[in-house]
Structure 1
């Protein structure tokens, strides 16, 4: 998938990453740009629930379970002790789109916007990471070396990302 446009949203817990991602997807797709997302979870998660057929298949030991209906399909892949695949491997599994927005994966080398809320007390990631190209926070931050974006104005954050990716 060479040429795939990937842009990230990173930040510490309670910084507003998921809300920003949700608003960015709506804003950017509303402009006619196709978007897929990748979300990193730091813990085990389930997309299906105990008692459902797909859950029962996985619990029985299936490596992959594909569920399909007239509305959507989903492929669940169990790692069963294998290492978590790198972001690049996961991106290869996506269908072609104009832009992939990635939530998390703060250590990967793609460009990112950092969601930051000073009241959380968390340090800025941007300070030590040149892949963080801007910081989105409720108000400008003193001494910030990267561009500031208003966290609560997804259209302005989207403008920045679309310029950065050549989709503006």
Structure 2
């Protein structure tokens, strides 16, 4: 039996603070000695590959997987969209994987990044564990919304948010 990373998703609307929340979660998880990865859902972009460059040409010729080795990173293009269960085995050496998006995945605990209470309400479901994002600028004094979830400023309270994540995330096995 092999353990897979603990999973957490940060979901919310455009310009709600998702990326900032994730950046601070990564930094705090790393400070605690964890290995962290991210998966970003990009449903509006068909490909990150550059049209007419070599890697794109290899794919058009029929290659199913293309590995590019620039000076400071490794990029693997798999020329089909994988579902989460197919991606996780590639990340088994990590302690945590943070998803940006994927709000339709009910089994993954979620932090909602929102600008307003109304926006937060659109994303709340049974897997919600906390609320963060730009909403904290207007509701920081209460620490809890009428919605019943703790509210965290990810910039100044990343440690408290990660404490909650450590309690609420589950270890998965393959």
- Please give the TM-score of this superposition, normalised by the length of structure 2: 0.77
Match of 1:65 in 2: 66
Alignment of 1:25-104 (within 5 A): 25-69=26-70, 71-79=72-80, 84-104=81-101
Match of 2:130 in 1: 134
Aligned residues: 161
Bigger fraction of residues in helix? 2
Residues 4 and 88 in structure 2, CA contact (< 8 A), matched pair in contact too: no
Q: Pick one of 143, 148, 164 that aligns with 1:160.
A: 164
- Please give the TM-score of this superposition, normalised by the length of structure 1: 0.80
> Is 1:150 aligned with 2:146?
no
CA separation of 1:117 and 1:67: change in aligned 2, threshold 3 A: same
Q: Secondary structure at the match of 2:130?
A: strand
- CA distance in 1 between counterparts of 2:120 and 2:73 reads 40
- CA distance in 1 between counterparts of 2:33 and 2:64 reads 36
CA separation of 1:15 and 1:53: change in aligned 2, threshold 3 A: same
Higher RCO (C-alpha 8 Å, min separation 6): 2
- CA distance in 2 between counterparts of 1:19 and 1:147 reads 18
Structure 1 residues 7-56: Cα deviation after superposition (integer angstroms, max 9, x where no partner): 11111222111121122112211221111111111123433323432122
Let me know the Cα RMSD of the aligned residues. 2.6
Gaps of 5+ in 1: none
